[in-house]
Structure 1
Amino acid sequence: MIEVVTAILKKDKKILILKRGNKVRTYKGKWAGISGYIEENEEPLERVIKEIEEETGLKRSEIFFVKKIKPVQFFDENENIQWKVHPFLFEVKKDEIKIDWEHIDYKWINVEEIDEYDTVPKLKETIHLLMKSSGQ
């Protein structure tokens, strides 16, 4: 099983999604949240903060933890991988970010628009769960 974190950043009524580039190992060209592999003995919250800093250029002081929900587990037959995803929701005050090499585009969208995008597996359900349980 591969454990990863995924973060959804929220600013006002919009959320950030990022389009994965061709240099990543999995899900090239798919829209995603901010994500990364959890390393051995690493806390998911620490990993997700590092990933946000690396993938958006935002500093720790510019992101505000809102919540995490229980991990989402699933088997992806196309990739032949069992995933365990630790989802987090953060708020930010600014929407200017600097994407890194992993992504080729980003958008701030309304939550209900996520269904219009070709996303990584389980992202739509995860976003709806994060937003539902946060009163959005």
Structure 2
Amino acid sequence: MNKVLRTTHVVTCFLQRTDLDQPQILLVQRSQRVGSYHQHWAGISGFVEPGVTPDEQALVEIREETGLNVDQVHLLRRGGVVEHRDEELGRHFYIHPFLFLVLAPEEIRLDWEATEMRWVKPAELSSYQTVPKLSEAYEAAIKGE
């Protein structure tokens, strides 16, 4: 019998920089202090709070986790929702993916949620131990709604 999973909406923001030889996206390694997927690599992400739209939450997470302000990023695309069922956590995740251009990558300052950051080529995503469905979320963000 399937266990009832708690519906959980999250945002995942892919921050892209284009000032290098090839576009790269930011991956952050989740700390032991976050609720799940410790040490896994992820985009900038977080729960969508009640009464807040995913678009608004995306900007909140970027500000909290990187220190970047709204004028230091530019929304390129919003992707279609990617679903992930995690029986162990008892959650049915609805991932809202976003692709942002970072205008000031040198200004990024990580908060407590991540221990490390790396700029990687999107094709390298598969060589990292990532949170579930990160590659699918990235593809959705690239494709757009």
TM interval, shorter chain, is: over 0.9
Q: Within 1, Cα distance between the matches of 2:103 and 2:51? A: 31
Structure 1 unmatched runs, 5+? none
Letter in 1 for 2:89: E
- The reply on whether 1:56 has 2:66 as its aligned counterpart is yes
- Match runs of 1:1-136 below 5 Å: 1-12=7-18, 13-96=23-106, 97-131=108-142, 133=143
Aligned residues: 133
Structure 2 unmatched runs, 5+? 1-6
Could you tell me how far 1:74 is from its partner in structure 2? Answer: 1.9
Letter in 1 for 2:133: K
Q: Within 1, Cα distance between the matches of 2:65 and 2:49? A: 17
Letter in 1 for 2:134: L
Which of these two proteins has the greater Rg computed from alpha carbons?
2
Could you tell me how far 1:79 is from its partner in structure 2? Answer: 1.9
Could you tell me how far 1:76 is from its partner in structure 2? Answer: 1.1
Could you tell me how far 1:2 is from its partner in structure 2? Answer: 0.7
Query: For the aligned residues, what is the CA RMSD?
Result: 1.1
Q: Within 2, Cα distance between the matches of 1:72 and 1:128? A: 10
What is the TM-score with the length of structure 2 in the denominator? Answer: 0.87
Q: Within 2, Cα distance between the matches of 1:116 and 1:106? A: 15
Could you say what secondary structure the match of 2:45 adopts?
strand
The share of aligned pairs that are identical, in percent, is 36
Residues 50-101 of structure 1, C-alpha deviation per residue, up to 9 Å, x if partnerless? 1001100111100001111111112012322111111111001232210000
Letter in 2 for 1:72: V
Letter in 2 for 1:31: W
Q: Within 1, Cα distance between the matches of 2:84 and 2:47? A: 15
Could you say what secondary structure the match of 1:46 adopts?
helix
Q: Within 1, Cα distance between the matches of 2:79 and 2:141? A: 7
